[in-house]
Amino acid sequence: MEYTVGNGDGIWAEVSIKKVAFRAVFTFLGVGLLAWLLFFGKSWIQSALVSLITFILFYLILEGVFGLLLRLRPDPVVAPNVITERLDTQNSSIPDSLLGYRAKPGFSVDFVAKVGNKVFDTIRIHIDSLSRRVVPMVPKPSAPINKYALFFGCSFTYGEGVDEKKTMPYYFSQLTGYHAYNYGFSGYSPLHMLGLLQSRNLPSEVEEKEGVAIYTYINHHINRVTPHTHWLRFMDGRIPYLNPKTMVIEGTIANKQPTKKQLIDWMYKSNIREYFAVGFPGRYYTHHYQRMVDVVRKSKELYQAQFKNNNFYLLIFPGQPMEPEMKKLFQEAGIQMLDYSNLFDSRKYMLPFDASHPNGEAYRMVMEKLAKDLKL
């Protein structure tokens, strides 16, 4: 027998009377057993139950106190340079069982970046059939180069907030004549590069036979590779899961470690955690840095196996100085690094409507330096 009940949100569901009765009986018996143990059980059981109940009550009281403090705390000041028209990123990506998500094939949009009534730029984004951001073709040089440049990385590589003719791959192509391919996307890390190289035959996606590969490093990538609980929560577990024994991406953390994800979800519902902004790991150690290095090294090995050359580089973006210990580990692993962390003051070249991403001028200067250093 079933009857219909509402849940208070206008959503109705069919609930079995048998299930309701079973839960009621189970709850009654559980409470009864707990009361019997509390009053008639052995002394050590009584002590343990009293301690547990005291802890739970104390925790609930603290949760209430810190919940009140959070409500009383002043709201953060919102910077005036907040973009009022921008791309709806939820519509620009699709789920991916290995990478967590990827750019939506064939997606195309033109949107206006403006604050209030002040227009800063009209931005065009076009994604090809392989989920790569399209790099517009530049005029062919008199002697065709016929070489490729693969770009891996996060939103800095993808070009978050800039037009397709202001991204790093575009400027590199313009400066060198190389055919640039943009494999970057917002929120990506070395794990995504590794997943791409393990799951796809990239030479079949590239027209040219010779060239270079560039991975652009920023400091947030250690959070994404570890991964930090803040990032896990923010991405809802849509992070590639790396088997540390085989160094193979086997799916996402949401699918491979659902219990871990659920525990973190519960943790982030705590008022105490939110008030103190608690997250793990609290700091990074050698084994965290080594994990980062191992992922990049494995990616390099796969690149070498597929493209038959050693032209793989790790580019450290301006304003993103790498921890000396991690840098040393990269050097010991034989990774070719281009340290541009002090190339210029990155704070002067951020988007006027997005203080976390560089503008086109920053990307242009980085690519000029790269082309010069690679003697292209």
Q: So where are the chain's domains?
A: 2-72, 89-373
Confidence at 53, pLDDT banded by 50, 70, 90: confident
More confident call, 51 vs 342? 342
Residue 261, SS3 per DSSP = helix
Q: Judge contact between 127 and 105, C-beta under 8 A.
A: yes
Task: Kindly tell me if the per-residue pLDDT of 122 is higher than 60.
Answer: yes
CA dihedral 20, 26, 268, 231 (to 10 degrees): -80
Confidence at 250, pLDDT banded by 50, 70, 90: very high
What pLDDT digit, counting tens, does each position of 80-110 carry?
444 444 444 457 899 999 999 999 999 999 8
Structure tokens at 341: 């962390």
Phi, psi of 18 (to 5 degrees): -60, -40
CA–centroid distance for 37 within its chain = 48
C-alpha–C-alpha distance, residues 364 and 314, integer Å: 18
Residue 85's pLDDT is 43
Q: Judge contact between 173 and 138, C-beta under 8 A.
A: yes
% of the chain residues with pLDDT over 90: 66
Mean pLDDT of the chain: 88
What pLDDT digit, counting tens, does each position of 324-354 carry?
999 999 999 999 999 999 999 999 999 988 8
Please count the residues of the chain.
Answer: 376
Rounded mean pLDDT, 303-309: 97
Task: Kindly tell me if the per-residue pLDDT of 373 is higher than 80.
Answer: yes
CATH 3.40.50.1110 at 89-373, yes or no: yes
Q: Judge contact between 340 and 362, C-beta under 8 A.
A: no
Place of tokens 């959503």: 11
Q: Judge contact between 357 and 89, C-beta under 8 A.
A: no
Q: Record the pTM.
A: 0.84
Phi, psi of 157 (to 5 degrees): -75, -45
Q: Judge contact between 65 and 90, C-beta under 8 A.
A: no
Structure tokens at 54: 């005291």
C-alpha–C-alpha distance, residues 146 and 13, integer Å: 62
Closest alpha carbon to 364 in 169, 219, 177:
169
